[in-house]
A and B are shown apart, each in its own frame.
Chain A
Amino acid sequence: MKARIFFLLIVPALLAQAGCATVQPWEKGKLAKPEMTFGGDKLETRYADHIYTSREAASGGAGVGGGGCGCN
């Protein structure tokens, strides 16, 4: 229960405050590279999620909205 409170309240607050100085818009050249974004190739991520939910108990994490399957 305590761990849950920590994650729900403290960590988002820390993350929102993290970073010593505000990064200016013109300093975001490296962040603009595709490999610096989250998610990556959509189909590649889809295959990985599909394989792991078919072979392991854990599922989800990055997003919500995909349908299910009777994957065996």
Chain B
Amino acid sequence: MMGARTTRVLRMAVVLAAALEASTASALDKGAAAPTFDLPGKDGTVQLAKYQGKLVYVDFWASWCGPCRQSFPWMNEMQAKYGARGLQVVGVNLDAKTDDARRFLAETPARFAIAFDPAGATPRAYGIKGMPSSVLIGPDGKVLYEHAGFKEADRAELEQVIRKALGGAQ
């Protein structure tokens, strides 16, 4: 038989555990129109509008972000695997000094579009809450999915989401 005090402590513990595990709320709701961007890139300018009709995976990254180093080989794999089916990966770099980004790219090459946004206007428009963050934008230009962080365990889940989104597309 639990006393009132024990029940209260347990309830607090459950709330704390839930708070620790709760997903972060996103600034952009699913189905909202993805903010456009027009940024200088590794090979010419990168405009979101140019990718209308494709499934766009926008990844916000920086040279100082550890998980970003892990995510690049995976993003290369996704672009290679699903590029023909209409996936376009766009990595938006947020380094204050673009030189740091170029050094990172020299060591960890990207076989997808890279854009530079040192001023940070794009992540602000997208309401980014962590590094790295990724946003999946449908062919209609609407936000389908958002994700913060990149762990080993995330690869399978993210690939599933991409496949599902491509499944219905022509």
Contact = CB atoms under 8 A, between A and B. Distances in A.
Query: What band does the interface of chain A fall in when counting residues whose beta carbon is under 8 Å from B?
Result: under 10
A28 to B, nearest CB: 7
Contacts of B129: 25
Q: Taking each of A24, A25, A27, A29, which has the highest tally of chain B beta carbons within 10 Å of its own beta carbon?
A: A25
A35 to B, nearest CB: 13
26 contacts: A24-B120, A24-B123, A24-B124, A24-B128, A25-B123, A25-B128, A25-B129, A25-B130, A25-B131, A26-B60, A26-B62, A26-B120, A26-B131, A27-B96, A27-B120, A28-B64, A28-B131, A29-B62, A29-B63, A29-B64, A29-B95, A29-B96, A29-B100, A32-B64, A32-B65, A33-B64
Query: Closest 7 interchain pairs by CB?
Result: A26-B94, A32-B64, A29-B64, A25-B131, A25-B130, A26-B123, A26-B120
Contacts of B133: 25
Interface of B: 60, 62-65, 94-96, 100, 120, 123-124, 128-131, 133
A32 B67 CA distance: 12
A27 B120 CA distance: 8
Interface string A26-49: 111100110000000000000000
A54 B133 CA distance: 48
Contacts of A24: 120, 123-124, 128
Contacts of A32: 64-65
Nearest to A29: B64
A22 to B, nearest CB: 11
Nearest to A28: B131
Contacts of B100: 29
A68 B63 CA distance: 42
Contacts of B96: 27, 29
A27 B129 CA distance: 11
Q: Taking each of A26, A29, A33, which has the highest tally of chain B beta carbons within 10 Å of its own beta carbon?
A: A26
